[in-house]
Amino acid sequence: MSHKTNPHENFVNAMMGFVSEGLLHKERGFIDRRIMRAADISIVKKIIIATSESSLKYFNDNILHKLVDEDEELKEFVIEIAKIDGNGMFTNILLNEFMKAARKTFPDYDESLIAESREFLGYLLRVAEGIYRSSTERTFNRAHFKTMICLAAKDETYNERGLEPYVKGIISSINRGIETVYIFGLGNKVSIAKDIARAIESEDIRIIEKRVSHYNHKGLDGNRVRGVCIEITTRSD
């Protein structure tokens, strides 16, 4: 990597090289190529904003705009990833599930995983946009991705019936082959999401792991609120 006099150019080039080589290093060849390129761009932008915001203009002008202007589909994927990232589903779900799905098939190449990875991004986008209203619709049960997204969202549901509807819905999905459940809670629903996760752990012996990630949720209206994403993993057998 050649050294330039512009420190922003050096930083951006270093990040692009590091991420495109290191992000899902073994797994990226099993995922749709353009989605992985969009993921690289998105991760680099997150790093720049967090560590060297002064380099953002150089990145936008010389990397982001150039790449997306030359590839309309890549541009669409970058936009879609930005939407799901605001909802805590980019690193917590998309990249996590890409890694797990690819490791299941590694080292054998499975073309169906390429196609399914595109479907999976579309599914997460529809969840982020609030298109799916029921827990059944928020279940993605395919050959490579077997996930459910549970939203601790409705006060009336919790006030009237407590945790029961959430627990029953999650266990029912696990019975149908779902391997990973992601429970989301925003604002005052963070504690409810954690209560749901604890109830599932005590109810179902198939739960083998729980991971809790806090993040700043960005709604489609641009407003931000604290959020939690709890990943519940079951035995695949």
Q: Confidence band (pLDDT; 50, 70, 90) for 2?
A: low
Answer for the pair 175, 142: CB distance below 8 angstroms, yes or no. no
The reported pLDDT for the residue numbered 204 is 87
The reported pLDDT for the residue numbered 3 is 59
Percent of the chain with pLDDT over 90: 80
- Can you tell me the distance from the alpha carbon of 9 to that of 19, in angstroms, rounded to the nearest whole number? 15
Answer for the pair 203, 163: CB distance below 8 angstroms, yes or no. no
Q: pLDDT by residue (tens digit) across 108-119?
A: 888 999 999 999
Mean pLDDT (the chain) is 92
Quick one: average pLDDT of 123-135?
Answer: 90
- pLDDT at 205 > cutoff 90: no
- The total of other beta-carbon atoms located within 10 Å of residue 82's CB is 15
- The total of other beta-carbon atoms located within 10 Å of residue 106's CB is 13
CA torsion sign for 223, 133, 197, 176 is negative
Instruction: Indicate where the chain has its CATH 3.30.110.20 domain(s).
Output: 134-237
Element (H, E) at 214: strand 207-218
- pLDDT at 236 > cutoff 70: no
Answer for the pair 121, 144: CB distance below 8 angstroms, yes or no. no
Task: State the pTM of this model.
Answer: 0.92
What number of H helices and E strands is found in the chain?
A: 10, 5
Provide the token pair at 5: 């006099």
Burial class (CB in 10 A: 0-12, 13-18, 19+), 3: exposed
Residues 6+ apart with CB under 8 A from 139: 147, 148, 149, 173, 176, 178
Name the CATH superfamily for 134-237: Alba-like domain (3.30.110.20)
CA angle 78–131–44, rounded 5-degree value:
20
Q: pLDDT by residue (tens digit) across 144-164?
A: 999 999 999 777 778 888 899
- Can you tell me the distance from the alpha carbon of 125 to that of 207, in angstroms, rounded to the nearest whole number? 27
